[in-house]
């Protein structure tokens, strides 16, 4: 046996995996990222950026379209209210032009009042878009409708007095004419503020081919004249176009004495002698004609009997006479002179404002009581 055969076997060496080599700097892997991965990542970022930009543009476009549609809707709503307000104006002035003093006038104006109040409420309920011009237009629109509603309400309240025969009718007519100023103011505000501001809002948002509503409530500045209002509502009130209260209206004025009847005897003017039976009192029926072109009011007739133991007078006032028509007033003379007394009766229709011919207003009669 060989010496080397008796020696123990050498231990078997276990092989271990090689440790990874550390990066030379900063602990980074020395392995580089593949070029195709970086390219794909860059493309993904680019696509994402394009999508985000498109979404932003889409949202902005939707918002812009919604705003434009809101402006168009607001313009249409204002147009509808303006058209209804103009319709109420037409109805109101048709009624005022009718010249009727009936209760139908008051009813019709009350209906207009209800509708103008409704128009004011509709205007207040509108929600204008966010533009400063639209918001300013909205404030002016509310002012316009409030002015109109308030003026119609005041006119409706004044009409009963304006249509009456009371002394307050002149003041009521003048106040109604004053309310016409509110209508004029509303028209100015609408034309100078509401319509231009709506146009500016539309132009600012590049909105074209839109009809801007117009509105005019006062049909004519002639309605600012109390005379025109008086002529239409109550010509007998004494307020006439071109004339101040208390002044006569244009045209001729005056009355002429037609006849005087004492009891059952129609008296003949002096120097004729009229024989009348003496009694405790003497009724006189005085007939006179309105010979002018105007209705006259508060016409006074006076009878004066002289020649007896004492002078006897009587007078009465007629509220109204119509052009071209006769009127009659009955007076009572008392006490009557005794039998055998010769007297002179003078009957006079008092001149009215504007009357120039007065020689036919007075007549004298010789009366012998028997």
CA distance linking residue 144 with residue 155, whole number of Å: 17
Quote the distance between the C-alpha of residue 242 and its chain's center: 23
Q: Would you say 188 and 259 are in contact if contact means Cβ atoms under 8 Å apart?
A: no
* CATH code, domain carrying 363: 2.60.40.10
Same domain? For 227 and 309 the reply is no
Which pLDDT score is estimated for 164? 83
pLDDT of residue 1: 43
179, 211, 237: which is the final residue of a domain? 237
Mean pLDDT of 13-36: 55
The answer to whether the Cα torsion of 328, 329, 335, 337 is positive or negative is: negative
Q: Between residues 132 and 267, which one has the greater pLDDT?
A: 267
Pair 173, 275 in one domain:
no
On whether both 225 and 315 belong to a single domain, the answer is no
Does 55 reside within a domain?
A: no
pLDDT at residue 4 tops 50: no
Structure confidence at residue 364 (pLDDT): 95
State whether 321 and 365 are in the same domain.
yes
pLDDT at residue number 33? 61
Q: Is residue 215 part of a domain?
A: yes
In a domain, 77, yes or no: yes
Is 121 found in the same domain as 265? Answer: no
For residue 109, what are the domain limits?
63-237
Asked if residue 278 and residue 150 are part of one domain, the reply reads no
Does the pLDDT value for residue 363 go beyond 60? yes
Q: Are residues 170 and 112 in the same domain?
A: yes
Mean pLDDT estimate for the chain: 83
Per cent of the chain over pLDDT 90 is 46
What is residue 129's predicted lDDT score, i.e. its pLDDT? 85
CA distance 47 to 98: 77
Q: Looking at the 3D structure of the chain, how many domains does it have?
A: 2
| Confidence bin at 2 (pLDDT 50/70/90) | very low
Report, as an integer, the average pLDDT of 135-140. Answer: 92
- Residue 13 above 90 pLDDT? no
Instruction: Kindly report, residue by residue over 53-75, the tens digit of the pLDDT.
Output: 766 655 555 555 777 888 888 99
Around Cβ 129, how many Cβ atoms within 10 Å? 19
At residue 264, the pLDDT reads 87
Give a yes or no: residue 232 inside a domain: yes
Range in 61-70, 75-84, 107-116, 174-183 with the lowest mean pLDDT? 61-70
Q: How many angstroms separate the CA atoms of 136 and 122, rounded?
A: 17
Q: What are phi and psi of 196, to 5 degrees?
A: -65, -40
């Amino acid at each position: 046996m060989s010496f080397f055969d008796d020696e123990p076997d050498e231990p078997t060496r276990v092989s271990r995996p090689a440790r990874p080599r550390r990066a030379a700097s900063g602990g980074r892997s020395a392995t580089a990222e593949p070029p195709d991965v970086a390219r794909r990542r860059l493309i993904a970022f680019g696509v994402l950026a394009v999508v985000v930009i498109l979404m932003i543009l889409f949202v902005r476009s939707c918002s812009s379209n919604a705003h434009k549609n809101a402006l168009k809707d607001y313009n249409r709503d204002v147009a509808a209210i303006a058209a209804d307000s103009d319709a109420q104006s037409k109805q109101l002035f048709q009624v005022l032009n009718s010249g009727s003093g009936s209760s139908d006038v008051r009813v019709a104006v009350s209906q207009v009042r209800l509708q103008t109040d409704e128009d004011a409420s509709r205007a207040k309920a509108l929600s204008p878009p966010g533009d400063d011009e639209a918001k300013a237009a909205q404030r002016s629109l509310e002012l316009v409708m409030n002015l109109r509603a308030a003026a119609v309400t005041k006119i409706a309240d004044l009409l009963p007095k304006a249509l009456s025969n009371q002394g307050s009718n002149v003041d009521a007519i003048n106040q109604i004419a004053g309310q016409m100023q509110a209508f004029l103011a509303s028209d100015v505000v609408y034309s100078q503020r509401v319509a231009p501001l709506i146009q500016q809002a539309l132009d600012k948002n590049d909105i074209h081919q839109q009809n801007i509503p117009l509105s005019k409530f006062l049909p004519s500045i002639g309605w600012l004249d109390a005379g025109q209002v008086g002529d239409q509502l109550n010509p007998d009130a004494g307020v006439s176009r071109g004339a101040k209260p208390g002044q006569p209206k244009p045209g001729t004025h005056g009355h002429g004495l037609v006849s005087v009847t004492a009891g059952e005897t129609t008296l003949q003017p002096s120097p004729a002698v009229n024989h009348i039976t003496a009694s405790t009192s003497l009724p006189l029926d005085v007939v006179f004609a309105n010979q002018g072109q105007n209705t006259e009011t508060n016409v006074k007739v006076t009878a004066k009997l002289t020649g007896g133991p004492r002078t006897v007078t009587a007078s009465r006032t007629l509220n109204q006479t119509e052009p071209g028509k006769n009127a009659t007033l009955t007076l009572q003379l008392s006490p009557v002179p005794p039998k055998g007394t010769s007297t002179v009766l003078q009957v006079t229709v008092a001149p009215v404002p504007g009357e120039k011919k007065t020689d036919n207003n007075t007549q004298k009669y010789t009366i012998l009581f028997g």
